Amino acid sequence: MSVSRETSRDLSAYVALITKWSSAINLLSRNDRAIVWERHIADAIQLSEVAPAGVDWIDLGSGGGFPAVPVAIHRKGSDTCLTLVEADTRKAAFLRTVRRELGLEYEVINDRIEHLRTERFEVVTARALSSLHRLLDHHYDLVANNGLGLYPKGRTWHREVEAARRTYEFDFQPITSVAGEGSIILKVENVRRRADAG
């Protein structure tokens, strides 16, 4: 992972904050803390590098901030507009604390995804939130026609694509993830609801 000194410093400060808060609320498991740089941080930076510049970006179920907070750090000072959606009040408070302490720019919406008003974002991400089919339900409502979804997935991604294709037609590209063997970033575009879907 090649990032600037300032980005590395901010990422380190973020890891310190999420480690500290994880003792009080469930942000990062003990096992994940040991591999936070190799798995979570590197994966998020890769997502940032795959996505186009200067976009309206929404991250669903942001939790402790992966991938959105490292993306915000990586794109600090850019014209990317980030919106983080998190239903859990304590996790949303953590995301606002990180924003304040690291001088980041993003909006935090403390609400359920289903309650969002219809918007048209250009990029949507969600990490370990739900199946691809369920993600595409949100994607279909929130993403502009020329927008894309970037969804980190594991070894079963083929089955998730197959299941999602029963309801949606879409173009996709699996991108090998730096997060580990069997992990990919599923780049999804041109999502259309099938005419014969129930």
The tokens of 68 are what? Answer: 């959105």
Higher pLDDT, 41 or 128: 41
- SS3 call for 128: coil
Range scoring the smallest mean pLDDT among 1-5, 47-51, 153-157: 1-5
Q: How many domains does the chain have?
A: 1
Per-residue burial over 44-82, b if 16 or more Cβ lie within 10 Å, else e, is bbbbbeebeeebbbbbbbbbbbbbbbbbbbbbbeeebbb
pTM: 0.93
58, 124 contact by CB (below 8 A): yes
161, 132 contact by CB (below 8 A): yes
Residue 198 resides in a domain:
no
Please count the other Cβ atoms lying within 10 Å of the Cβ belonging to residue 104: 20
Instruction: Summarize the confidence of residues 12-36 as an average pLDDT.
Output: 85
Residue 121 resides in a domain:
yes
Residue 35 resides in a domain:
yes
Rounded Cα gap, residues 111 and 87, in angstroms: 4
CA atoms within 13 A on the CB side of 103: 6
Q: Residue holding tokens 């310190």?
A: 16
Instruction: Summarize the confidence of residues 149-158 as an average pLDDT.
Output: 92
Q: Which domain holds residue 38?
A: 5-193
pLDDT classification of 1: cutoffs 50, 70, 90: low
Q: What is the CATH number of the domain that holds 55?
A: 3.40.50.150
Span 75-111, pLDDT tens digits: 998 999 999 999 999 999 999 999 999 999 999 999 9
